[in-house]
Structure 1
Amino acid sequence: MTINKNLNGSELTLGLEGRLDTTTAPELETVIQNELTDVKELVFDFKNLEYISSAGLRVLLSAQKIMNKNGKMKIINVNDMITEIFEVTGFIDILTVE
């Protein structure tokens, strides 16, 4: 997985490419922990994300909990397969997906 970071003022956009799974989730978790200082809006761009596993969902939930205290979080450009995963798991009701 590739993580493209773009910090614009207090908005951090993380563009994910490839697969967010058990192997790559720790990498994203580290980026989130290191980059969220002074971030008020966290945006995940899933335009090029092909797959997400339960490990990836856990990282998103953790990020959402952090941002609930510090600002807001949203996920954009989600493909149909990942949207279906969000719906089946109930994450569609927890996360802001645009």
Structure 2
Amino acid sequence: MENIEVHKVGEVLDASTSKMEQEAITQILGQGKNVALDLSGCKYVSSAGLRVMLYSYKVAAMDGLKLFLIGVSEEVREVMAITGFERFFSFYQTIDECINQPG
């Protein structure tokens, strides 16, 4: 897929990091690019972190863009499944898998 920028999320996505992460993601979307969130190094996502992902998804959708999630740990994916957030996102194991997808 063309027009996609990878944003690497830190080890924790919670209230202490959510504002910074949200600003970085919004900036990429503001450039008209799809965002691939690399969560391969992220071990913990709080409710504030889930809000960042959902808000980013909504902003992307309003602009006809997409938000992809890469390398989500089993623990984080489980939380997303329980909360119903999982249905909003496309998940990929690697950056290459995401970037080389058709469409």
User: TM-score, normalised to structure 1's length?
Assistant: 0.82
**Residues in 1 aligned to 2:22 and 2:53: alpha-carbon distance in whole angstroms:** 9
In the alignment, structure 1 residue 42 sits paired with structure 2 residue 50: no
More strand by share: 1
Match of 1:16 in 2: 9
Call closer, same or farther: CA 1:40–1:34 in 2, change over 3 Å.
Answer: closer
Alignment check: 8 A CA contact 2:13 2:44 kept: yes
**Residues in 2 aligned to 1:85 and 1:18: alpha-carbon distance in whole angstroms:** 16
| Larger RCO (alpha carbons 8 Å, 6+ apart) | 2
Secondary structure at the aligned position of 1:47 is classed as coil
Identify the match of residue 77 of structure 1 among 55, 71, 83: 71
Alignment check: 8 A CA contact 1:12 1:39 kept: no
Alignment check: 8 A CA contact 1:10 1:38 kept: no
In the alignment, structure 1 residue 65 sits paired with structure 2 residue 58: yes
Gaps in structure 2 of 5+ consecutive residues:
93-103
More helix by share: 2
Using the aligned pairs only, state the percent identity: 27
- Give the drift of 1:11: 1.4
Root mean square deviation of aligned Cα = 1.5
Gaps in structure 1 of 5+ consecutive residues:
1-8
User: TM-score, normalised to structure 2's length?
Assistant: 0.79
Alignment check: 8 A CA contact 2:25 2:35 kept: no
**Residues in 1 aligned to 2:85 and 2:26: alpha-carbon distance in whole angstroms:** 21
